[in-house]
Chain A
Amino acid sequence: MAPVVQCMGLTKTYGRKIALNQICLNLERGRIIGLLGPNGSGKTTLIKIINGLLRPTAGEVLINGQRPGMESKLRISYLPERTYFQPAMKVIELLAYFQDFYPDFRMDRAYDMLARLQIPPQERMKNLSKGTKEKVQLIMVMSRDADLYILDEPIAGVDPAARDYILHTIVSNYNRSGSILLSTHLISDVENILDEVVFIKYGSIVLQAGAEQIRQNEHKSVDQFFREVFAC
C-alpha cells in the first residue's frame, strides 16, 4: 500500500526566502508522527501544502497517491493553528456543518467529547474562551474517521493541565488505520504518544526516525535529542 503522504522534491519560496527546500518524505499509515522543529522551520508551510492551501514552487506532494484535491480533502482531517469558524456560529451549528460536508464525521463521538469537556452545544463560538475554541476545533477534527489527521500546534494555546486531556483525546479518537501528523515545538508534552519523528530545520528534513529508535540509539529522550540538534 502506498504511503499516506509522499513528498518529492517539495520546494516553497517566498521571493528570495526559501521556506521548504527539496523535501523528500514518506509518511506511512497507522503511525503517529511528530513534525518537530523550531518556529519558522517550515512545519506550517509543509502542512499547508499537503492540505492544498499553498501551492509548492517546485516538487510534488501526493496523498493516497493523488495530488491535493477533492479526494484528499475527503481523507484529511486538518486542525490549523488558527480559529477558522465564523464567530457567530453555535457549536451545534458547527456539528451540523461538519456532518453536512464530511461523510466520515461521527456526530455521537463529537457530542461525547463535548459533554466530557463540558462545552455547551448551544454556545456561540464568539462567547467561548480561546482555549475552549481550540478544544471545539479539535473535537470537530477528531470526530472524523480520516486517513490522515494533520494537527498544527494543537497544544500551543492551552494550559498544561488541558494538554494531557487534548493528547488523550487525540490518541483515543483517531481512526486506527489512519495516521496522525502532529506539528509542535512542545516536544516533552507529546513525545510519549509519538511512533515516529521528523525533524525539520530551515525548510529541510534533518531526521526521520522512530521515537523508540532515537531513545535506544541516542540514550536520550526525543526532547533532549531535539534540543541537541536544534541548539542555537
Chain B
Amino acid sequence: MLGKLMKYEWKATWKLLVSANTFMLVMTMLAWCMIKMLEHSQNLEMLGFMVVLLVATYVGSIFAVCVGTTIYLIHRFYTSTYGDQGYLLHTLPVDTHHIIVAKGLVSAAWELINIVVVYVSVLVLFMAVSDFDLFYDNAAEIMRDTIRMLGADKITAFTVIMALIAYVFSLFSEILKVGACISLGQLSANHKLMLSFAWYIGIYVVEQIIQTVYFAIVLAFQKRIPDATRFYYLDSQWETTLIAGIISCVIFYLLTWYVMSRKLNLE
C-alpha cells in the first residue's frame, strides 16, 4: 500500500511543483539571456539599472518558488491529513506508518528537487558571467565548498556520500518536524493551527538549547577555549548532522504516528 499512497501523493502534487520548478528554470534562462545582452551594451546607466532589476527578479523568484513549495507541502499535509480529505485518507485500509512515510518521502523528494534546480540555476548563471576555464575552476570550487558545508572536511568518496546522507536525514527530520507540529496541534479542541505554530516554536527553542548544551559539553571535554571557528567546525560535521537527523526523525515520526493512530479526532 505504501507504493500506492506514494503514487497518489505524487500525482496530487506534481503539476504545481513541476510548474514552479519550470518557472525557476525559465527565469534562469531569461537571466542568462539578459547577462549576454548586457555584455554588449554600451549604456552604463541602463546597464546598472538592468543588473539591479535582473538580480532582484531572479533572487525574488527563487525565494518565492522555494518558500512557496514548502508552504504548499505544509498546506497539502494539513488538508489531506486533518482536513476534509483526511476523511478519505483515514478510512483507507492502510497502515498509519505507510501514510507518514509516503507523505514524508514525497515531500522530501520535492524539496530535494527544488534544491537541485536552484543549484543548477546558480551554476548556469555563473557560467554566463565567466569564460569556460574560469567557470570550470570556480564550479569545482563551489562544489567543494558545498560538500564542506555539508560537513565533509576531507573530500573522499566516503565523506561525500555520508555528508549527503546526513543532509537527507536532516531534511527529512525538518519535514517530519512540521508534520509532528501539525499533528500535535490537533490535540486541541480549538485553535489547532495556532497550537501547531506554538509547538513548532517550542520545539525549535528546545533544539537550540540541546545544541548549545551539546557544544558546551564537547568543548569542555576538549578543554579548548571556544571560538567562532570551533563552533562552526562542530556545527558542520556530518557525523553530528547524521546523528541529530536520525534522532530527530525518530522522535518526530513517533509523535506524528502517536497522534494519527491513537489520538485522531477529525472534526
Contacts and interface: CB of A to CB of B under 8 A. Distances in A.
Interface residues of B, number: 24
Contacts of B93: 70-71, 73-74, 101-102
A73 B95 CA distance: 11
Instruction: Tell me which of B1, B80, B88, B264 has the highest count of chain A C-beta atoms within 10 A of its own C-beta.
Output: B88
A97 interface: yes
23 contacts: A15-B189, A48-B266, A51-B91, A52-B91, A52-B264, A53-B87, A53-B90, A53-B264, A53-B265, A53-B266, A70-B93, A70-B94, A70-B95, A73-B91, A78-B91, A84-B84, A84-B87, A86-B12, A100-B4, A100-B8, A101-B1, A101-B4, A101-B94
Nearest to A93: B11
Contacts of A82: 84, 87
- Return the 9 tightest CB-CB contacts between A and B, nearest first: A84-B87, A73-B93, A84-B88, A74-B93, A53-B266, A80-B87, A101-B92, A70-B93, A100-B4
Nearest to B12: A86
Given A100-B4, A101-B92, 19 more contacts: A48-B266, A52-B90, A52-B264, A53-B91, A54-B265, A55-B264, A70-B93, A73-B91, A78-B87, A82-B84, A84-B85, A84-B88, A86-B80, A86-B85, A88-B15, A100-B8, A101-B1, A101-B4, A101-B93
B262 interface: yes
B17 to A, nearest CB: 13
A20 interface: no
Interface in B182-211: 189
B88 A85 contact: yes
Interface in A94-139: 97, 100-102
A74 B92 CA distance: 8
Interface residues of A, number: 26
Interface string A19-57: 000000000000000000000000000001001111100
Interface string B165-186: 0000000000000000000000
Interface in B232-267: 262-266
A83 interface: yes
A73 B92 contact: yes
Interface of A: 14-15, 48, 51-55, 70-71, 73-74, 76, 78, 80, 82-86, 88, 93, 97, 100-102
Interface in B80-102: 80, 84-88, 90-95
Contacts of A88: 12, 15
Contact of A55 (B85, B91, B94, B262): B262
**Interface hub of B84, B90, B93, B262 (most chain A Cβ within 10 A):** B93
A88 B87 CA distance: 17
A83 B84 contact: yes
A49 B84 CA distance: 16
Contacts of B87: 53, 78, 80, 82, 84
A86 to B, nearest CB: 6
A73 B64 CA distance: 40
A85 B262 CA distance: 24
Interface string B1-20: 10010001001100100000
B188 to A, nearest CB: 11
Contacts of A48: 266
Given A15-B189, A74-B93, A86-B85, A54 B266 contact: yes
A48 B1 CA distance: 23
A129 B118 CA distance: 41
A54 B264 contact: yes
Nearest to A82: B84
